[in-house]
């Protein structure tokens, strides 16, 4: 499986604002990949093109036959008035109950499963929503600031667990956190400012995971490369 974009161009309908001008990149293997860059450069729009929610672009955007292209995002609302535990129980597919219970524990929301979604903190809401997506069948999950408002240690625990549970699945992680994407992602697509060519540069990340030693010097080198690519 691979995600490939070639000569992608897109202008917002009814405007002359050109968001992408012959954007090209390849993400050649499953795992964690990142989109990073300043606001307004098209990270979310590209994600929506990948899932098919935005059309009307020219060029090639291939998902190599992947089925179940899901998009999760920060501050997404949960339907219904039941407790979040009951909701998760209701939407859990057959055979995934142990996965659900494992995710609830690792994500640190066991103590709030009786609460309604509206009673949770923003970070708790995002964690519940992410569990909903991870329980579905998918080949690619886009996480657009899906762990916003979650503390750093908990985010790290969650990311390591997801990578351990889904080693053969594509994840596209949209974030502003240079340290985080450099540490956890295998490939980092760095979007540059308006008018710069090329529009985006791919930087290899450290792809840190359970059982792998993190070289701090190499991590710092990756972070510097990401920041230089964005300049």
pLDDT value of residue 177: 95
Across the chain, mean pLDDT equals 94
Given this model, what pLDDT does residue 227 score?
Answer: 95
Distance of CA 42 to the CA centre of its chain: 14
If residue 133 lies in a helix (H) or strand (E), which one and from where to where? helix 122-134
How many angstroms separate the CA atoms of 219 and 181, rounded? Answer: 10
Average pLDDT over residues 111-128: 95
Contact 117, 128 (CB under 8 A): yes
pLDDT over 90 (residue 231): no
Percent of the chain with pLDDT over 70: 100
Q: What pLDDT, in 10s, does the model give residues 131-142?
A: 999 999 999 999
Mean pLDDT value of segment 49-67? 93
For the 3-77+137-230 domain, the top CATH level (class) is alpha beta
Q: Are 218 and 227 in contact (CB under 8 A)?
A: no
Task: List, in sequence order, every beta strand (DSSP E) within 12-131.
Answer: 18-27, 31-36, 58-62, 69-73
Each residue's pLDDT tens digit, 183-227: 999 999 999 977 788 999 999 999 999 999 999 999 999 999 999
Identify which has the larger pLDDT, 17 or 225: 225
Domain ranges of the chain: 3-77+137-230
């Amino acid at each position: 499986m691979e995600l490939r974009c070639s000569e992608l161009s897109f202008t917002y309908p009814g405007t002359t604002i050109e968001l992408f001008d012959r954007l090209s990149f390849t993400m050649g293997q499953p795992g964690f990949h990142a989109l990073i860059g300043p606001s307004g450069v098209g990270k979310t729009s590209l994600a929506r093109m990948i899932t098919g929610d935005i059309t009307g672009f020219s060029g090639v955007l291939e998902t190599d036959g992947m089925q179940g292209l899901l998009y999760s995002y920060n501050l997404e609302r949960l339907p219904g008035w039941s407790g979040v535990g009951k909701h998760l129980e209701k939407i859990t597919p057959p055979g995934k109950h142990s996965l659900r219970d494992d995710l609830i524990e690792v994500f640190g929301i066991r103590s709030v499963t009786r609460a309604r979604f509206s009673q949770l903190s923003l970070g708790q809401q995002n964690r519940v929503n992410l569990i909903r997506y991870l329980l579905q069948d998918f080949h690619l999950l886009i996480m657009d600031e899906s762990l916003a408002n979650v503390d750093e240690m908990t985010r790290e625990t969650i990311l390591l667990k997801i990578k351990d549970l889904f080693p053969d699945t594509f994840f596209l992680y949209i974030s502003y956190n240079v340290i985080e994407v450099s540490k956890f992602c295998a490939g980092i697509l760095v979007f540059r400012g308006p008018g710069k060519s090329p529009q985006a540069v791919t930087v290899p990340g450290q792809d840190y995971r359970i059982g792998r030693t993190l070289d701090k010097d190499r991590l710092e080198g990756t972070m510097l490369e990401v920041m230089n690519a964005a300049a």
